[in-house]
Structure 1
Amino acid sequence: MFKLIRLELRKSKFTFLKGVLIADLAILTAMILLIFTGMDDGEFDTYGEIFQGVFIFVKATYIVFASVLLSKLVIDEYKNNTITVLFTYPVPRKMLMAAKLIIVFLFTFFGILLSDVAISSLLAGSLYVFPNVIQETLTRELITTHLLSAGTDALYAAGIGLIPLYFGMRRKSVTATIVSAVLIVSLISSGNSFGGFRMGDLFGISITLALAGAAIAYLSIRKIEHQDIS
């Protein structure tokens, strides 16, 4: 499986690193502007609110990234009928499809986790230089809690990132794949403020959507041997 993943990465010319860096810099800049412009309104009074704001941006960005990656690795292959060539290889179809979906899942999980930690760390370091912005003290307990929460939420988000595969495969449409991801992000991330209620904050909603993504991935792999690829 590892060799298949490596070959798939080489074949697809995985060039998301530049986009990831640009997205992370944009999120960092947006958060800095929001923190300093929202000082008078008290929107970011605690590190918890700042970390939550970072995660909302990061999760939304990488779920959309996941849909783009699904489009590149799966949907485009079906749309252009190049998947027929791929399935002539002496490797079970299930393993080929599984390799593609594992790439998407791991990219989303590690992308969210690492970006969240990196951006949060940079913001915390910046706020240390400006102690009057946040009155709260950044403790080891707060950092540990955030890391555990970020890891768990990244896992859920990686599962959610597979849901657009269902919509894309129905019509072999890249547009449907990406639009469905944007709609999912809007559904789970919308709220009145960074400290307010969001549907994505509910454990039941997050785990249900993550399991739905896992089920879609499983069904895509299970049916691939007998699926009409024309």
Structure 2
Amino acid sequence: MLKLIRLELRKSKFTFLKGVLIADLAILGFMLLIAFTGMNEGDFATYNDLFQGVSVFVKATYIIFASVLISKLVIDEYKNNTITVLFMYPVPRKMLMAAKLIIVFLFTFLSIWLSNIVISSILAGVGYFLPDVIQGVLTQKLLLTHLVTTGTDALYAAGIGLIPLFFGMRRKSVSATIVSAVLIVMLISSGFGNFRMGNLLEISITLALAGAFIAYLSIRKIEHQDVS
């Protein structure tokens, strides 16, 4: 399986790392802009507010990123009919599809987790040296809680990021894949005040399990699926 994953990464020239850097810089810049322009309005009254804001933007960004990656690794292969060449390899189709989806899952999980930690750390550093920007005290307990929450959120989001596969595979459509991801992001980011749908554990777990089930069905059915 590791060899298949390396082959997929080499074949796709995995250029998304540059995109991750650009996305993180954009999120960081946007969060700094909100923090500095909203100093007198209390947009980030506490570090907890700051960390929650980072989490929302990071999850939204990389769930959409996951749909782009699904489009590149799976949907485009079907759309351009290059999947038939890939299935001529002396390797079970299930393993090939599993390798692609593992890449998507791990990319989404690691991107969300690491981006959350890096961006939150930079903003916490800004708050430390410029205490007027963010009120309150950054405690060890808050840091530990944020670290654990970031890991679980990344895990759930990685599962949610697989849901667009269902919509993309129905019509072998890249646009359907990405649009469905945008709609999912709008759903989990919707709410009012400090309440958001994505903050409900039941919603996150349900959507993550739905994504895992869709991935399982895609792998299970691939042996008998018409690739034309």
TM (normalized to structure 2)?
0.98
What's 2:89 paired with?
A: 89
Given that 2:75 and 2:168 are in contact with CA atoms closer than 8 Å, whether structure 1 keeps it comes out as yes
Aligned position for 2:62: 62
Aligned residue in 2 for 1:127: 127
Comparing 36-45 with 58-67, greater Cα deviation is found at 36-45
Q: Could you tell me how far apart the structure 2 residues matched to 1:31 and 1:135 are? A: 15
1:6 counterpart = 2:1: no
The residue matched to 2:42 in structure 1 has which SS?
coil
Q: Partners of 2:137 and 2:95 in 1: how far apart?
A: 49
Matched, 1:218 2:223: no
Cα offset, 1:134, TM superposition: 2.4
Report the number of matched residues. 228
1:136: Cα distance to partner? 1.0
Q: Quick check: 1:145 aligned with 2:145? A: yes
**SS at structure 2 position matched to 1:223:** helix
The match for 2:23 is: 23
Which structure 2 residues correspond to residues 39-50 of structure 1 after superposition, within 5 A? Answer: 39-50=39-50
Task: Return the match for 1:201 from 179, 199, 202.
Answer: 199
| CA displacement at 1:70 relative to structure 2 | 0.1
More deviation, 208-217/33-42 = 33-42
- Taking the aligned partners of 1:191 and 1:127, their CA distance within structure 2 comes to 27
Specify the code of the residue in structure 1 equivalent to 2:49.
E
Please give the TM-score of this superposition, normalised by the length of structure 1.
0.97
Shift of 1:190: 2.2
Shift in Å, 1:35: 1.1
Q: Distance in 2 between matches of 1:197 and 1:226?
A: 44
Map Cα deviations across residues 25-59 of structure 1 (whole Å, 9 max, x no partner). Answer: 00000001111112222221110110000010000
Structure 1 residue 116 corresponds to structure 2 residue 116: yes
CA contact (8 A) 2:39 2:132 kept: no
Q: Is 2:165 aligned against 1:165? A: yes
Q: What is the letter of the counterpart of residue 223 of structure 2?
A: E
Counterpart CA distance in 2 for 1:17 and 1:129 is: 30
Identify the residue that residue 77 of structure 2 maps to in structure 1: 77
- Shift of the alpha carbon at 1:139? 1.0
Matched, 1:37 2:37: yes
**5 Å matches for 1:177-196?**
177-193=177-193, 196=194
Q: Distance in 2 between matches of 1:135 and 1:52?
A: 15
Instruction: State the superposition RMSD in angstroms.
Output: 0.8
Task: Write out the 4+ residue segments of structure 1 that deviate beyond 6 Å after TM superposition.
Answer: none
